[in-house]
Structure 1
Amino acid sequence: MSHSFSRSQTVRKPATKSEGGIVAAQHVKAAEIGADILEQGGDAVDAAVAVSFAMGVLEPWMSGPAGGGAMMIWREAEQKSYALTYGMKSPKSLDPNAFPLSADGKAADLFPWRAVKGDLNVQGPLSIAVPGTVAGAGKAHNAFGKMPWKDLLQPAIKEAKSGLLVDWYAALIIASATQALSKDPDAAATFLEDRQWPTIAGWTALSEKRIDQSLLANTLTHLAEQGPEDFYRGDIAALMVKDIQDKGGFLSLDDLASYAIEFEDPLTIPYRDSRIFATPTLTAGPTLADTLCQMENMFTPGSSPAANSFGAYAEALSKAYEKRLVTMGDQDAPHAPSCTTHFSIVDRQGNMVSMTQTLLSLFGSRVISPSTGLLMNNGIMWFDPEQGHPNSLAPNKRCLMNVCPVIGEQVIREQGTDKQSLQRFAIGASGGRKIMPAVMQLSSFMTDYNMSLEDAFHHPRMDVSGGDVIIADEDLAPEIISELSQKHTVTTTKRTVFPYAFACPAGVSRENGVNSGCTEVMSPWGDAVAERDTK
């Protein structure tokens, strides 16, 4: 006998609204730091730099200076968008033969490549790629920042000096990676007790445990004084390279010194009465463009997302990912844990930043540079260790990422009148291959159905990212689930705090001079914070 139960529990996270600037981030403290920068007269890019480094301190398992990422920037005065991709890159001296394939089996983490003996491409010093996050932040700041670089790093330095507070959520994250962290002496000493047990917060509100981040604080202090170039050509570079080479990694001073990025013209994706601006290369931007191009002719939007629109979403996403897997070589597991962070910013003038950064896996390579306190990425895992494929491992090669930061704009027409307004939004998400489907659905909710940012973020979604099964929010209407089940295998699940079955988005929007911000409803740390009115 089957039973049907009605659930009355709902979770809501109201959007923050203000005529001032707003920062939406996966950690509320980082959002507060960004809002403070806006209050001090900084613009959206200044706030993004401050939030980038703060997130590396407050949520170190997701991102940090030794990672990579991408961003979209909107300049209101120019009415122009800019794309900047600063993904990781394989070292020039990397030897593919150092990653011998196992006789059988798949890799142990995000990607279903052939397994490498000892998972050397997944964790440990050989998995470390050339980082790009500091170069990205520095490039954006040099082009558009208003405040001194040194000032923008001070909040992150302050947080690092205080140490990472281990609350229930941090304890849960650390506990989930204890075995991997224990393999690197410096990672174990940082995150584990007695180098083998997770650092667990006490059960009472008065209990407090903090992780020592003093080495990281010293590195950030030096970086603040010397500027971003030091990370690639100065003292920080020398210390980082020596540490990684001492542990057996490929990273070299030449790798860092030769790392270079440039602004690119973004993809401009027309979609009905809207435009979406996305990163053009080595990200999920081209796959988003493919999906939206298909969708435009697949359904006519009604008053709200219905079975026909979700059926179109599923078909377009499936075809776009099939093309991506064949031509771009990106084959990561669609339901792997989220291990990235995203934040979106709009300032009082209407400038926007949509920025995603990552270490790739949770805790990256699970290797810490002991001289700098930097948790290193494991970007080598982004490559297929088997030769002869589109994304096969090779030296001096850029990584293909799943990040999908976008800037969108839509014309909103008032029914029954000739009045119209323009809503602009900046969104993105964390969650591996789940990122682009989330960004696509949120974009459709807002452009096809004129949803507010808040309503879009609360609406149930599904994940269709190249696997055999559609993962659908059980709160989707029964007729939507039924429609999807006609052509696909569908598994329903709840939207929960941990683990995330769906991507974890953060976004801001602006219409008629009023800004809004919202983050993933179930994210326990995420929030949108508005600058205080300084008039």
Structure 2
Amino acid sequence: MAGSFSRSQITLKPGAVAVEGGVVAAQHVLAAEAGAAVLAAGGDAVDAAVATSFVLGVLEPWMSGPMGGGAMMLWREDEGRGHALSYGMRASQSLDVAHYPLSGAGKASDLFPWESVVEDRNIAGGSSVAVPGTVAGIAAAHERFGRMPWAELLAPAIDHAKRGMEIDWYAALVIASSAQDLSRDPDAAAMFLDDGQWPKSFGWTALADRRIDQSGMAATLDRLASAGARDFYEGDIAAALVADVTAKGGFLTAADMAGYAPEWSDPLDFPYRDGRILAVPGLTAGPTLADAMGAWQAEYAAADAAAPAAHVARTGAIRAAYARRLAEMGDHDSARAPGCTTHFSVVDRAGNMVSMTQTLLSVFGSRTVSPATGLLLNNGIMWFDPEQGKPNSLGAGKRCLMNVCPVIGEGAGRRFALGAAGGRKIMPAVAQIAAQLVETGATLQEAMEAPRLDASGGDPVVADERLAGPVTGALSARWPVATAKRLPFPFAFAAPAAVLREAGRNSGTTETLSPWGDAIAEGDTA
């Protein structure tokens, strides 16, 4: 449990000593512990990623889980190369576009400023559920690179699910923020609310221990461990999911599940200063990252990275890159809501790395639970524009366009795995942290804690309040500017997690103000 380690031992703070063993940095410390324990048992970085991913699905159920999707970047030290793996969600082949008529009531109320759909059918409930990819993606990576048995790697998640996620102040806050939406689905209400209406709250004394009943999820994970990953797509788990989604008004079919496959590809590999960045190509934020960072190199010198003019150049390039993304790829995330993405990064003793981002899309996904499996369902259909004739218009069998941006970076004699949670805010955060590491020589902790700006959501540009002064003055000469604090909730910026390898030693860290996140070295688990 947390408390058996010292964060200063494993983060690259000035004067701190990095470790020779592996490190896992995740948005929940207990998930990082599970991954670090796998490393200590001799597992590969991919083995640690399997354990970390499934534990995150249990302990941050509103962020991600088996019914989600995502992408990962992998670095294989013995090959000296990276691999990109995409396992995003997809629309059902049987989806009926006519089921999602526009309501004429203006813009939708969630992440994207699409025209609203009758009854929010693309946002919540069974009709918002897309074909999931997370389990297939994790299994593909494990089959190719894993060392430890699949069932052994799922055991930590099963144990956590049997105990149930503890409700502390942060969990109670997140549940309360979505209580009204959760109350509309009886199964979600039974899991997360009291009396189907009031959010479950945490105890006010040290002896209080309130937990979510995740016994249904535990049984599903136990079945997944014993029967293997394909059961999720072709066996008993698949049949239960299809039946539940259908009963809730969705379009998921057995053929959709059986036909799902993740996609391996060569990374998007682009130079940056004296280093390079490897990102996932295709329907991710990787191409937008390359667009923005390519412009930065041309518009300011590395030695001037802290100057107000460099902040202006970065802002302008981010805005221009997103404008091209909107025109060519069709993603119109307005950044009005946080999204339910989570990210973790792993480095093992040998130098293999995994940078993995997974999501249900909205907080609590579709705000519905599959009663037969105990799993929260995604709302991936919301990723599509319900208006036809657009680059990202809703259609049967189409792949979802994601904002995930896991990367592997190199520069200044170091290699790092980096990504973030936070919807459209992810790419600007990843780009700025990567640039800090490559062009300024910052330590990992310094790069993580450096003040950032976000220009991904239209006007205004949002700047960390620590940039107030010459930087915000220069920005405001071009665009409206708002300053924001770095807070535990809500996040004004993305929440990153990263590991770094230098001279054979490893370190890791997460967003400084993340309530649950931390990095754990393989020798620091209980």
TM-based fold match above 0.5? yes
Which residue of the other structure, out of 470, 477, 488, is the alignment partner of 1:479?
Answer: 470
Aligned to 2:433: 442
Separation in 2 of the partners of 1:111 and 1:203? Answer: 37
1:104 offset after TM fit, Å? 2.8
Q: 1:270·1:276 contact (CA, 8 Å) conserved in 2?
A: yes
Letter in 2 for 1:86: Y
Separation in 2 of the partners of 1:449 and 1:106? Answer: 42
- Greater shift after overlay, 341-350 or 470-479? 470-479
Structure 2 unaligned runs (5+)? Answer: 1-5, 12-17
Q: Residue 130 of structure 1 aligns to a residue in which SS?
A: coil
Aligned to 2:449: 458
1:333 offset after TM fit, Å? 1.1
Q: Does 1:528 align with 2:519?
A: yes
Normalised TM-score (structure 2): 0.96
Q: 1:20·1:533 contact (CA, 8 Å) conserved in 2?
A: no
Letter in 2 for 1:447: V
Q: Residue 385 of structure 2 aligns to a residue in which SS?
A: coil
After the TM superposition, which residues 4-403 of structure 1 pair with which residues of structure 2 at under 5 Å, given as runs? 14=8, 16=11, 17-302=18-303, 305-403=306-404
Q: Does 1:468 align with 2:459?
A: yes
Q: 1:469·1:490 contact (CA, 8 Å) conserved in 2?
A: yes
1:13 offset after TM fit, Å? 7.2
Relative to structure 1, the CA distance from residue 338 to residue 522 in structure 2 (aligned partners, 3 Å threshold; closer, same or farther) is: farther
Q: Residue 263 of structure 2 aligns to a residue in which SS?
A: coil
CA offsets 1:220-253 (integer angstroms, 9 cap, x no match) = 0000011111000011000111111112210000
1:302 offset after TM fit, Å? 2.0
Structure 1 unaligned runs (5+)? Answer: 1-11, 413-421
1:205 offset after TM fit, Å? 2.1
1:118 offset after TM fit, Å? 1.0
1:177 offset after TM fit, Å? 0.3
Normalised TM-score (structure 1): 0.94
1:338 offset after TM fit, Å? 3.7
Letter in 1 for 2:80: Q
Separation in 2 of the partners of 1:322 and 1:359? Answer: 25
Q: 2:7·2:519 contact (CA, 8 Å) conserved in 1?
A: no
Q: 2:111·2:339 contact (CA, 8 Å) conserved in 1?
A: no
Q: 1:187·1:368 contact (CA, 8 Å) conserved in 2?
A: yes
Separation in 2 of the partners of 1:305 and 1:27? Answer: 32
Aligned to 1:492: 483
Separation in 2 of the partners of 1:195 and 1:479? Answer: 51
1:476 offset after TM fit, Å? 1.6
- Greater shift after overlay, 478-487 or 63-72? 478-487
Separation in 2 of the partners of 1:477 and 1:333? Answer: 24
Counting matched residue pairs gives 513
Aligned to 1:432: 423
Q: 1:303·1:449 contact (CA, 8 Å) conserved in 2?
A: no
Letter in 2 for 1:329: G
Letter in 1 for 2:473: S
- Deviation above 4 Å: which 4+ runs of structure 1? 12-15
- Greater shift after overlay, 141-150 or 463-472? 463-472
Q: 1:322·1:466 contact (CA, 8 Å) conserved in 2?
A: no
Letter in 2 for 1:531: E
1:533 offset after TM fit, Å? 8.0
Separation in 2 of the partners of 1:280 and 1:97? Answer: 31
Separation in 2 of the partners of 1:281 and 1:428? Answer: 17
Q: Residue 164 of structure 1 aligns to a residue in which SS?
A: coil
Separation in 2 of the partners of 1:312 and 1:269? Answer: 19
1:66 offset after TM fit, Å? 0.3
Separation in 1 of the partners of 2:388 and 2:258? Answer: 28
Aligned to 1:509: 500
1:303 offset after TM fit, Å? 6.7
1:103 offset after TM fit, Å? 1.3
RMSD: 1.3
Q: Residue 506 of structure 1 aligns to a residue in which SS?
A: strand
CA offsets 1:441-494 (integer angstroms, 9 cap, x no match) = 001111110111110001110111041210100012511111111101100011
Aligned to 2:14: none
Separation in 2 of the partners of 1:522 and 1:511? Answer: 25
Q: Residue 311 of structure 1 aligns to a residue in which SS?
A: helix
Q: Residue 211 of structure 1 aligns to a residue in which SS?
A: coil
Which residue of the other structure, out of 504, 514, 518, is the alignment partner of 2:509?
Answer: 518
Letter in 1 for 2:478: K
Separation in 1 of the partners of 2:22 and 2:104? Answer: 55
Q: 1:50·1:152 contact (CA, 8 Å) conserved in 2?
A: yes
Q: 1:157·1:217 contact (CA, 8 Å) conserved in 2?
A: yes
1:262 offset after TM fit, Å? 2.7
Letter in 2 for 1:20: G
